[in-house]
Amino acid sequence: MGKVLVVVDMQNDFIDGVLGTKEASAILPEAVSRIKAAKEAGYEIVLTMDTHDTNYFSSQESKFVPVAHCVEGEYGWQLNSDIAAVTQGDKVFKKSTFASTRLADYLKSTRCEEVEIIGVCTDICVICNAIIIKTLLPETPVIVNSSCCAGTTKKAHNCALQTMKNCCVKVI
């Protein structure tokens, strides 16, 4: 029941770390205020955290993204401190791939009435989570709040938003 705000991968490595972008840093204040407002409006907040081990270079992902990132326990893996400060005690889904199937299963189990997604990267983990959630919960409105999302590039961000729209995800 109720509404859920999903905060995707707002970790140091994706904001101002090894895979950070100026767009990701730029959305940070907006993302923090969206989390605060959602909490005040009674949303449940859940977070995903990209989580790799020190064997990253033996993964398929490393062949496409040849930059070690989000190694569990390291600084780059940790949530950005501004995000961490407003999500104390909220549920976290660690994942070693782009989307969290456990998160989608959890959302289904809660019978939530609406899911809003924010975070990074629009064209990788935001879109993958949005599509898996929409696939598992076709009758639940899934919203991507684009002002609180950043892609690997501006173009990739916009392409991903269009693809999500095509898949019945509401982009605001």
Query: Is position 50 an interface residue for Zn ion (rule: CB under 5 A)?
Result: yes
Apex CA 160: angle with CA 158 and CA 93, to 5°? 125
Q: Does 123 bind Zn ion (CB under 5 A)?
A: no
116 binds Zn ion (CB under 5 A): no
Q: How far is the CB of 172 from Zn ion (least distance, A)?
A: 26
Nearer to Zn ion, 67 or 85 (CB): 67
Q: Give the nearest distance from C-beta 13 to Zn ion in angstroms.
A: 9
Question: C-beta of 14: minimal distance to Zn ion in Å?
Answer: 9
Nearest to Zn ion of 32, 70 (CB atom): 70
Per the structure block, which two tokens stand in for 150?
């950043």
Closest CA to 49 of 98, 4, 105: 98
Question: What are the b/e assignments for 27-51, b being 16+ CB within 10 Å?
Answer: bbeebbebbeebeeeebbbbbbbbb
Residue list 19-48, contact with Zn ion (CB under 5 A): none
Residue with Cβ nearer Zn ion (13 or 116)? 13
Segment interacting with Zn ion (CB under 5 A) among 6-14, 50-58, 71-79, 105-113: 50-58
Q: Which is nearer to Zn ion, 18 or 85 (CB)?
A: 18
The least distance separating Zn ion from the CB of residue 63, rounded to whole angstroms, comes to 12
Residue (50 or 116) nearer to Zn ion, CB: 50
Q: Where are the beta strands (DSSP E) in the chain?
A: 3-8, 44-50, 91-95, 114-120, 142-150, 170-171
Least spacing, CB of residue 70 vs Zn ion, in Å: 5
- Shortest Cβ contact with Zn ion: which residue? 50
Tokens standing for residue 90 = 């909220």
Whether residue 140 contacts residue 3, with contact meaning beta carbons closer than 8 Å, is answered with no
Lookup: tokens for 120: 């990074």
As a whole number of Å, the CA-based R_g of the chain is 15
Residues that bind Zn ion (CB under 5 A): 50
